[in-house]
């Protein structure tokens, strides 16, 4: 199979695409992607935003509310020799986007991994 380790330029392009994907879903940008080459497995850790959370906190004697976007993490494992993909993501839409992303940027075909 045509497989090459992604360069820094490719990783940056993948992060940009995932940030756009998450912003479109109201989860904010700031996506980060870390790659780890572990023999036959290429592992990715994806940091992404979760939905906004509103919480109460105490400041002095007054109660206030704070809105924040917690971080969430997903993992993607690519078996380089077999071309298998293992995705741990909280939503099916994220799973499908990771399949398309890895297929396009690592194997040259967005439909390399079926998303059904």
pLDDT tier for residue 94 given thresholds of 50, 70 and 90:
very high
The pLDDT tens digits for 77-87 are 999 888 899 99
Q: Is the pTM of this model over 0.95?
A: no
17-26 long-range contacts, CB within 8 A, separation 24+: 17/101, 18/46, 18/48, 18/97, 18/101, 21/97, 22/48, 22/49, 25/93, 26/51, 26/52
Beta-sheet pairing, 71-79 with 84-88: antiparallel
Domain boundaries, the chain: 8-107
83: left (phi over 0), alpha (psi -120 to 50) or beta: left
Residue 99 has pLDDT above 90, yes or no: yes
């Amino acid at each position: 199979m045509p497989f090459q380790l992604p360069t820094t330029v490719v990783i940056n392009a993948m992060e940009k695409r995932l940030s756009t994907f998450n912003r479109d879903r109201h989860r904010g940008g700031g996506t980060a992607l870390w790659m780890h080459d572990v023999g036959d497995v290429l592992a990715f850790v994806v940091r992404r935003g979760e939905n906004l959370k509103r919480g109460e906190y105490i400041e002095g004697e007054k109660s206030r509310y704070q809105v924040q976007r917690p971080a969430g993490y997903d993992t993607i494992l690519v078996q380089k020799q077999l071309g298998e993909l293992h995705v741990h993501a909280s939503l099916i839409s994220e799973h499908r986007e990771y399949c398309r992303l890895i297929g396009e940027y690592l194997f040259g075909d967005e439909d390399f991994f079926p998303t059904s």
